[in-house]
Structure formats: C-alpha cells, structure tokens
Amino acid sequence: MSRTSVVVIGGGISGLAAAWDLSGGERGPGPNSPRVEVLEASQRVGGSLATTTFAGRTIDVGPDGFLARRPEATALVRELGWGDRLEAIGASGAWLWLGERLYEIPRGVALGVPTSYASVASLGGLSYRARLAARRDQWLPRRLTVGEDETIGRIVRAKLGAELAYRFVEPMVGGIQAGRIDDLSAKSVFPALLEAARAGGSLMAAMRASAPSPGPSTAPVTPDPLFYSLAEGVGSLATELAARLEGRGVIIRRATAATALRRGEGAYAWDVDTDSTTTPAHAVVLATSAAASARLAGPLDPDLAALARVTSAGAAMVTLQFDRSEVVLPERGTGVLVPLATPWRGDTMLVTALTFLDRKWAHLRRDDDVVLRAHVGRIDDRRWIDLDDDALIERVTDEVRHLLAGTGAARDALAQRFPDGLPQYRVGHDRLVAAARAAAARAGLELAGATYDGVGIPASIGSGRRAAAGALARLG
C-alpha cells in the first residue's frame, strides 16, 4: 500500500502543531506515519511568533508570553525537551491611566471586571458616579435578562454603568482581543461573565464566586505560574518546531500559497494547488485565517464560505530602549493600560497599553537600560496604518514619555506591524464555528487556528493538535 499523504495549509503555530502530531508527536514518526507537507504563504513559518535582535537582546516581535493555566503550550514545549527553557513571569500587577495619572489596578479584578465594591473604591481616578454604580450592584443590583449570547459591553454597562465599562473593563478585555467590548461575544471570549449575568443579582458577587478565567477553554487549571515565556523568546518555539519537523522528513514549503483546493481522483481525496504544483492528499488541514479558509473551502459548502464573515483586527507594537537612569517606571507591575479615547493634543492616544518587557522576563533584564513595548491599534482604530515607521515611532515615543512622566529620550526603537492579526469573536461566533466545523466534517476537512478555539498561543496549539487527530482518524 502506498504511503498516505496529508497537506497542512498554513505554517503558523497551529499548522506546525498539527504537523507535529501528524508526524508522530512526542514519539516521532512510525512505519504508518503519513507523508506531511506544510504550505506557508509567507517567507517564514510561525505566524505572529517571531524574534529579532534589539538592544543587544533577542526579543519577541509578536506575543512575548503565554498562559500557563492552559496546558497546551507547556506540554508541547516539554515534548520538545525544552522544559528547562520555560521562564515564569517575573512580576505581577498593572496600572491604569485615568485623568492624567497612573493608578494601580487593585486586587479583586477578574479580567478587568471588579468583583467587589472595595476594588472600585480603592482605585483613584474614577468618578463618584462610577463608585455609586459599583455600590448599587453590591446592594441593589440592576435586573438584566441575557439570551444565548450577549456582548461583553452590554452586560457590563447594564450592571456596572458606562464609566466602569469603558474606562475599567475595556482597556483589558478589548486590549487582549484588539476589539471593542460592545462587539465582542461574552460566550466566546469571556464565558464566565455570561454565566455571572445569568445568575442574576450582583454581577461582582457572581464573578467573585466563579473565579473566572477568560476564553473558550475547558482545559484544566494547572499549578503553574500565570504566564510563561522561553529563554530565547516565544518565537523560538516556532523556529525549533519547524527544524524538528524538517528533521523528521516533513516538507515545509515557505513562500508557497495554496491557490485552490479540489476534489481528487482515485485514491486521493484532495488535490491542493499552488501557482506551480499540485499535491494529492488523503487528508487536508486548513490552518489558515478565516478569510483564506473561506476562499479555499467556501465553494464546497455555504457554512465554510460563511467564515469570510469573521473580521480581523490589526495592531502594531513599538519597542523602546531607554537608559535606566532616564526612565521613570511605576514601582511595581508589568505595564500600563490606557482607556480608549484618552485625550492627546487635540486627538486621542494611539497607545492602548505599555508592557515593561525586562520587568516581566528575567532574560531581558540588564543593569544599564530598560526595554518596554507600546501597543497600538484596535478593530476600529487603524490610524497607525497611515504613519510610516519613523512617524509611528515618534508619535508613540511622545505618548510614552507623557504616560511615564520624567522619562528622557529613547535610545533605540523598533516598530512591528500585524495588519490582520486577531480574529474578532462577535456575538454568534460559536454558532458560526460549529456550523463551519460540521461542514468541514461533511467535506472531509479539518480546521485549525485562532478563528476557532481562542486567540492565544495555547489555544492555537490545541486547535492544531485537535485537527491532526481528526485527520489521522480519517486515515484510519
């Protein structure tokens, strides 16, 4: 019998994780392992996971850490024999910019949602009206009827008022997703919030009782630290995984986009076309963006074509180096959150958050300088696209020096852009995904990526491995 063949379309972390399991996982290839080919449209694999050299360090230009409470990423790292390279986050806590001042975010906050009146009362910069709304929720909560799904914004505004929604909750929730709480689905992004709203009574009390964690995950909670990075940066995971896969004989074709997906003839279920080749395959894993998956698989089923309705938010990051003696940071914490519509010289700030990189991760710390990162962009704020790198760096540096009053000039800077990085989980996203997966099952395809199981690294890895298991089951 000839060897079976699987094509993975997309070489981001989901596609690489799928290829890892298709080629034998931790045990490695066996006599019945399929031939695996990965098609990646860009010049490199890993998607947003990448590193570069900056300020004498290897830094991530994409995500710099990942949740440890979801085990998918740490499990894969340990399968690679890299358990000793896991680095726990080196600090905790954050600050919020309100009324031209920094205020430390108090304890008793679940993904930006306060869980007690005390957590609101202890935060300066909020109006009397916001404090009154929190007290009302504690003693005389507003009624709210929720359906199968609601936006995060509707729940928080109805129960805690607009100020807490937009100045307290949105900087954190919206920042993680690069979206707006008035668009994002509670069911898909923050299911514990939806359940708390359904419980009735005080939203803060229900959140406190549920001890929520964000994201559509059923993964068990582990005793690990809250976040991990890797000693050579998170981007090193994708680089190492690709090298291991190629060492196993997996074919990774970079700068090679799939142009069409067609029903095969004879023993092969599929033909996967590129501009110059056709690869026959017994199984196909689509580990591409929602738009690309809709383009390739949409002709097979309307529910796969519907993936085109998933929008994506772009973002940019500016990494800055300062002399340690020239930067003024809060005494503790890993960063600063900036509410949207924060005034700035007749406009509003581009910066939505700051991350103190060398405070978060010990491998980045040096005695003579500080490295921090400014985050820019939301689904409805694409002003950064119209600025070239020099203009973006200048604008962001000015804002950072305002947020960190007393800070001097930056020694070096690096801009990184992700035009369509984060899929937006809007109300009804779970139904759209379920329908697409059912259609994929009927067609004999597997779907993987940030569109389906969560936007974080662990979720993406788990999505790829789930797709690989489905493809292997099809091969029998």
Strand segments (E) across 89-145: 95-98, 101-104, 109-110, 113-114
pLDDT tens, residue by residue, 202-238: 999 999 987 544 444 334 444 558 999 999 999 999 9
Q: How far is the C-alpha of 318 from the C-alpha of 194, rounded, in Å?
A: 34
Say how many C-beta atoms besides its own lie within 10 A of residue 434's C-beta: 12
The token pair that represents 125 in the structure block: 């910069």
Which pTM does this prediction carry? 0.94
DSSP tag of 268: -
Strand segments (E) across 171-292: 227-230, 251-253, 260-263, 270-273, 278-281, 283-286
pLDDT number for residue 408? 96
Q: Is the pLDDT of residue 144 over 50?
A: yes
Q: What is the mean pLDDT of residues 237-251?
A: 98
| pLDDT confidence bin for 270, thresholds 50/70/90 | very high
Q: Is the pLDDT of residue 416 over 70?
A: yes
Helix, strand, or coil (residue 17): helix
Cα–Cα distance list, 394 to 119, 256, 341, 363, 413 (Å): 36, 36, 20, 27, 9
- Phi/psi region, residue 322 (left: phi>0; alpha: psi -120 to 50; beta: rest), is beta
Percent of the chain with pLDDT over 90: 89
Cα–Cα distance list, 364 to 231, 323, 326, 360, 417 (Å): 9, 14, 18, 8, 22
Burial class (CB in 10 A: 0-12, 13-18, 19+), 259: middle
pLDDT number for residue 224? 55
pLDDT number for residue 283? 97
Q: How far is the C-alpha of 352 from the C-alpha of 171, rounded, in Å?
A: 7
Task: Give all domains of the chain, ordered by start, each with its CATH number.
Answer: 5-45+236-310+426-475 (3.50.50.60), 107-210 (1.10.3110.10), 312-423 (3.90.660.20)
Q: How far is the C-alpha of 175 from the C-alpha of 187, rounded, in Å?
A: 18
Say how many C-beta atoms besides its own lie within 10 A of residue 138's C-beta: 18
Alpha helices by DSSP H, 63-169? 72-79, 117-121, 128-139, 152-160, 162-164
pLDDT number for residue 216? 44
Provide long-range contacts, Cβ within 8 A and 24+ apart, for 156-160.
156/113, 156/181, 156/193, 156/203, 159/197, 159/203, 160/113, 160/114, 160/133, 160/134, 160/203, 160/204
User: Which stretch of DSSP H or E encloses residue 8?
Assistant: strand 5-9
Q: What is the mean pLDDT of residues 249-276?
A: 96
The DSSP annotation for 204-234 comes to HHHHHHH----SS--PPP-SS-SEEEETT-T
pLDDT tens, residue by residue, 332-378: 999 999 999 999 999 999 999 999 999 999 999 999 999 999 999 99
Helix, strand, or coil (residue 419): strand
| pLDDT confidence bin for 457, thresholds 50/70/90 | very high
Instruction: Give me the phi and psi of 60, to 5 degrees please.
Output: -80, 135
Q: Is the pLDDT of residue 110 over 90?
A: no
Q: What is the mean pLDDT of residues 450-476?
A: 96
pLDDT number for residue 215? 42
CB-based contacts of 438, cutoff 8 Å, min separation 6: 303
DSSP tag of 185: B
CB-based contacts of 247, cutoff 8 Å, min separation 6: none
pLDDT number for residue 266? 87
Q: Are 125 and 95 in contact (CB under 8 A)?
A: no
pLDDT tens, residue by residue, 35-64: 999 999 999 999 999 999 999 999 999 999
Q: How far is the C-alpha of 27 from the C-alpha of 182, rounded, in Å?
A: 46
Q: How far is the C-alpha of 339 from the C-alpha of 352, rounded, in Å?
A: 7
Q: What's the mean pLDDT when you consider all of the chain?
A: 94
Q: What is the mean pLDDT of residues 107-117?
A: 88
pLDDT number for residue 218? 37
Q: What is the mean pLDDT of residues 103-120?
A: 89
Q: Are strands 227-230 and 66-67 parallel, antiparallel or unpaired?
A: antiparallel
Q: Are strands 5-9 and 283-286 parallel, antiparallel or unpaired?
A: parallel
Could you give the strand order of the β-sheet that contains 86-88, starting from the edge strand earlier in sequence?
Answer: 66-67, 227-230, 86-88
Q: Is the pLDDT of residue 384 over 80?
A: yes
